[in-house]
């Protein structure tokens, strides 16, 4: 039998194909289908009379043959199982299936159809999620999920039902939960049905049972599925109200067969829409160029971006300002992260009187990378919204691209009309890393070897040191959080540059500046003992060697101040004596 050949779609941006799955009472009979053209503009009562399938493509080497019209068509094993499961003995079914309804051999058609996928899933009568064939006690898992959902509603017959948590965990490890395209597929749906083998469950019940799962990917997917009952058919999904940056924050660790799809799968459902120049679906565009454009779009046009050799990591240089530091994180009933923060003002020349209350609260969406105590709120040059970053050695990992800071927070530091470009002496050099992987913390060698315009290690260390200092300026309570990271930074100075390096000695002085309180000074003394192996070093240097006004001294901020002039004679010999020790254990 000849291979099936596609006919071109009729002209128009709202045209697609639908799959007519023909019935058969014999479940082992070959699968036979027909394709028909369809206009997405023609709908009935708000929904089209087709079901859209959400599934994982699987291994292309494992394929099966189905028959479309009078031609053979190869599909992967997982899709073949889904079609067999959906086939009715008596009635034909109308489906939309991406691997069949889009000509995958025509990149131009794929680019056009991707731009319509939001309409396709939002307009479907229902979205059918196929998790795969029965395996690893998946039927027990589906029964347990149903029981957990019913129990949350107080249904009496499920009150004492046994729950197989191990089977549930195994089910949630299936690759469907990690696939990037399913974010759009269930995030725009108005009605969802979950199938696994012969078992099935309503999407809302499925979501109720899993919304507290420990896996962020499962948790995020459960939230999306659970919101389906509130979405009008063909209406605007709550996810459509999120920016591209917010969607990337939440879902960037999900998997895609093609790297380009990590962006294209989220772009069509974002509030930015398909009007973003330079990011529209184009599979001929080199991935590195697309990745760089994305970073400039979600951060600032003024950043410098270099893509790592692994193609998953971006190294970013930017100028910016520190706004505050996170000192506590809680979660609310909707899995949102509620951040308690200390604001800083000295880094932009603001006084306590101008800022007012140094403590503030900020609520952000659940994200693939959870915010932690010690994370930093900052604003980059020409950026529209502050970001959250995390210190790691001499660079910072981007945790959140979008914080949606309300007017009550960062304009306290940067009031409306404030000319940040005129305050360059307060701007810091940020060396940032972001990765599509769950963590960027294994990319230290990338930052140091792919240098480009990145300065030497000593300057990078000093710039990171200044940023950490800025988190503690102006409010003493913030110093307790910042000093933990500055102490680690001091060890890094000693390890990378040596104890006698001028910037190492200046880092000691800078850490002392933040240790004005008795409890912090005691901690500072312990850190000096750890690094210099001299428990009496603080007394030898003297309690008065920290002079606050030098924090704004240009020689300090540029890293050129060897020691405060008033204390240099007293401080330098003691440090040099400590430096002569050869028993460091860093």
* pLDDT tens string 379-395: 999 888 899 999 988 88
What is the pLDDT confidence band of residue 360, given thresholds at 50, 70 and 90? confident
Stretch among 83-87, 120-124, 454-458 having the lowest mean pLDDT: 454-458
Between 156 and 35, the higher pLDDT residue: 35
Report pLDDT for 62: 87
Check if the beta carbon of residue 213 is closer than 8 Å to that of residue 222.
yes
* C-alpha span between 118 and 112 (Å, rounded): 12
Longest CA–CA separation in the chain, Å: 95
Residue 341 DSSP label: E
Question: Cα 108–52–104 angle (5° rounding)?
Answer: 25
Q: What pLDDT is stored for residue 552 in this prediction?
A: 56
**Residue owning tokens 């006690």:** 137
Helix (H), strand (E) at residue 208: helix 203-210
- pLDDT tens digits, residue range 326-342? 988 998 766 788 998 88
Higher pLDDT, 461 or 546: 461
- Structure confidence at residue 264 (pLDDT): 93
Are the C-beta atoms of 500 and 579 separated by less than 8 Å? yes
Average confidence score pLDDT of the chain: 79
Average pLDDT over residues 520-532: 57
**Tokens (6 digits) for 273:** 């829409």
Alpha-carbon span 363 to 533, nearest angstrom: 43
- Cα-Cα-Cα-Cα torsion 436, 441, 444, 446, nearest 10 degrees, comes to -10
Does residue 183 have a pLDDT over 50?
yes
Query: Smallest Cα–Cα separation from 503: which of 456, 548, 458?
Result: 458
Reported as a single tens digit per residue, the pLDDT across 291-312 is: 999 999 999 999 999 999 889 9
Highest mean pLDDT among 139-153, 290-304, 507-521 belongs to 290-304
Closest CA to 253 of 201, 325, 365, 178: 178
In which residue are the tokens 């254990």 written? 585
Beta carbons of 19 and 95 less than 8 angstroms apart: yes
Paired tokens of 340: 């308690």
405, 378 Cβ separation under 8 angstroms: no
As a whole number of angstroms, the distance between CA 389 and CA 373 comes to 11
Query: Residue 442: pLDDT above 60?
Result: no
Give the least confident one: 31-45, 325-339, 439-453.
439-453
Asked whether the predicted pLDDT for residue 554 surpasses 80, the reply is no
CA of 245: how far to CAs of 223, 299, 301, 367, in Å? 18, 9, 14, 11
Q: How far apart are CA 196 and CA 183, in angstroms?
A: 19
Distance separating alpha carbons of residues 528 and 511, to the nearest angstrom: 10
**Per-residue pLDDT tens for 193-225?**
999 999 999 999 999 888 878 787 888 888 888
Task: Work out the end-to-end distance of the chain between its first and last CA atoms, rounded to an integer number of angstroms.
Answer: 71
User: Structure tokens of 86?
Assistant: 């959906």
Type and span of the H or E element at 568:
helix 568-579
**pLDDT interval class at 233 (50, 70, 90):** low
Q: Please choose, from the candidates 136, 279, 124, 259, the residue with its C-alpha nearest in 3D space to the C-alpha of residue 192.
A: 124
Q: What is the CA radius of gyration of the chain?
A: 29
Cα–Cα dist 537/540, whole Å: 5
pLDDT value at 179 more than 80: yes
Q: Judging by beta carbons within 10 Å of its beta carbon (0-12, 13-18, 19+), is residue 133 exposed, middle or buried?
A: middle
Is 80 exceeded by the pLDDT of residue 583?
no
Give me the DSSP letters along 241-263: GS-HHHHHHHHTTSB-SSTTHHH
Residue indicated by tokens 């990145």: 454
User: CB count, 10 Å around CB of 549?
Assistant: 9
> What dihedral do alpha carbons 546, 549, 554, 560 form, nearest 10°?
-10
Give the pLDDT of residue 529.
59
Burial (0-12, 13-18, 19+ Cβ within 10 Å), 517: middle
The Cα–Cα gap between 164 and 172 comes to 13
Least confident window among 94-98, 252-256, 549-553? 549-553
Q: How many CB atoms lie within 10 A of CB 485?
A: 21
Which tokens sit at 577?
């004596």
DSSP structural state of residue 161: -
**Could you tell me which residue, 544 or 191, shows the higher pLDDT?**
191
Is 340 exposed, middle or buried, given 0-12, 13-18 or 19+ CB atoms closer than 10 A?
middle
Q: What percent of the chain has pLDDT over 90?
A: 40
**Per-residue pLDDT, 524:** 56
Q: For residue 40, name the pLDDT band (cuts at 50, 70, 90).
A: confident
């Amino acid at each position: 039998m000849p291979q099936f050949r596609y006919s071109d779609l009729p002209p128009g941006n709202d045209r697609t194909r639908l799959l007519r799955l023909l019935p058969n009472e014999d479940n082992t009979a070959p699968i036979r289908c027909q394709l028909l053209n369809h206009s997405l503009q023609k709908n009935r009562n708000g929904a089209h009379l087709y079901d859209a399938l959400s599934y994982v493509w699987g291994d292309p080497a494992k394929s099966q043959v189905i028959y479309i019209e009078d031609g053979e068509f190869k599909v992967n094993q997982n899709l073949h199982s889904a079609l067999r499961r959906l086939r009715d003995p008596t009635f034909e079914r109308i489906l939309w299936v991406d691997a069949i309804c889009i000509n995958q051999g025509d990149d131009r058609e794929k680019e056009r159809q991707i731009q319509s996928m939001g309409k396709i899933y939002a307009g479907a009568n229902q979205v059918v999620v196929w998790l795969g064939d029965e395996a690893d006690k998946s039927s027990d898992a589906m029964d347990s999920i149903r029981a957990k959902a019913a129990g949350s509603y107080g249904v009496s017959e499920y009150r004492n039902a046994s729950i197989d948590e191990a089977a549930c965990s195994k089910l949630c490890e299936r690759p469907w939960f990690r696939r990037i395209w399913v974010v759009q597929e269930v995030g725009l749906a108005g009605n969802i049905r979950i199938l696994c083998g012969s078992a099935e469950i309503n999407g809302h019940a499925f979501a109720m049972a899993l919304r507290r799962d420990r896996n962020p990917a499962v948790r995020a997917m459960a939230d999306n599925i659970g919101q389906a009952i509130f979405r009008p058919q063909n209406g605007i999904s709550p996810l459509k109200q999120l920016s591209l940056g917010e969607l990337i924050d939440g879902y960037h660790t999900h998997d895609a067969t093609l790297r380009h799809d990590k962006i294209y799968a989220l772009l069509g459902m974002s509030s930015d829409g398909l009007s973003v120049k330079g990011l529209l679906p184009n599979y001929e565009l080199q991935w590195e160029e697309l990745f760089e454009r994305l970073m400039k779009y979600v951060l600032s046009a003024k950043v410098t971006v270099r893509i790592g050799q692994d193609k998953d990591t971006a190294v970013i240089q930017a100028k910016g300002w520190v706004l505050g530091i996170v000192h506590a994180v809680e979660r609310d009933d909707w899995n949102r992260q509620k951040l308690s923060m200390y604001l800083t003002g000295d880094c932009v020349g603001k006084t306590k009187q101008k800022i007012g209350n140094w403590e503030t609260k900020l609520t952000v969406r659940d994200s693939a990378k959870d915010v932690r105590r010690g994370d930093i709120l900052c604003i980059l040059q020409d950026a529209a919204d502050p970001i959250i970053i995390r210190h790691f050695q001499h660079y910072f990992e981007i945790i959140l691209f979008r914080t949606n800071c309300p007017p009550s927070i960062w304009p306290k530091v940067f009031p409306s009309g404030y000319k940040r470009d005129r305050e360059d002496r307060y701007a810091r050099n940020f060396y940032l890393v972001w990765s599509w992987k769950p963590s960027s913390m294994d990319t230290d060698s990338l930052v140091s070897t792919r240098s480009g315009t990145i300065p030497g290690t000593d300057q990078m260390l000093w710039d990171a040191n200044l940023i950490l200092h800025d988190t503690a300026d102006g409010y003493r309570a913030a110093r307790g959080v910042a000093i933990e990271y500055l102490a680690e930074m001091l060890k890094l100075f000693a390890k990378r540059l040596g104890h006698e390096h001028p910037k190492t000695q200046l880092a000691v002085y800078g850490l002392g500046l933040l240790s004005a309180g008795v409890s912090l000074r005691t901690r500072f003394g312990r850190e000096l003992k750890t690094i210099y192996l001299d428990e009496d070093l603080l007394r030898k240097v003297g309690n008065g060697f920290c002079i606050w006004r030098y924090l704004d001294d240009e020689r300090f901020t540029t890293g050129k101040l060897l020691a405060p002039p008033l204390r240099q004679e007293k401080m330098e010999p003691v440090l040099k004596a400590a430096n002569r020790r050869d028993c460091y254990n860093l």
